[in-house]
Amino acid sequence: MSNLQELGSLAPKPVWEGVAARIVEGDRISVAVVELPPDGVVPEHRHANEQIGLVIEGSVTFTVGDETKQLGPGGTWRILSDVPHRVVAGEHGAVVVDVFSPPRTDWHAIEDEPVRAPRWPR
């Protein structure tokens, strides 16, 4: 992988049904630009990776542990290791940035989708 790329050159990975992530990975961190369809759901799950994120466009209702909040552009989250969390996208879907440490190596086994233009940036 080149050290310098455009988001549109990265093949999306279908990480959940209807939810695609374009991933940039280093030795100790993963960054994913994630596209969620309207009313798309990331079911409750947990992982050892710590996760922080930011809404770029659209909206999501995020639940982390026992805390739930609707977030729009600029909304952020922090998920510590092994804390259950889930996401429901708003009626127009959403684009979010997720950062994971250590990297999400479980995503390596997911086959890439064909390269296509990203939802963001336009």
Share above pLDDT 70 across residues of the chain, in percent, rounded to a whole number: 100
CATH of 26-106, one of 2.60.120.10, 1.10.3720.10, 2.60.40.1170, 3.30.70.1400: 2.60.120.10
What's the DSSP call for residue 113? P
The pLDDT of 7-29, averaged and rounded, is 96
How deeply is 67 buried, as exposed, middle or buried, from its count of CB atoms within 10 A (0-12, 13-18, 19+)? Answer: exposed
Residue-range domain boundaries for the chain: 26-106
pLDDT in tens, 22-80: 999 999 999 999 999 999 999 999 999 999 999 999 999 999 999 999 999 999 999 99
Q: Answer for the pair 60, 79: CB distance below 8 angstroms, yes or no.
A: no
Name the pLDDT band for 1 (thresholds 50, 70, 90). Answer: confident
Sign for the CA dihedral angle at 90, 56, 34, 104 comes to negative
Band (122; pLDDT cuts 50, 70, 90): confident
CA distance 21 to 109: 13
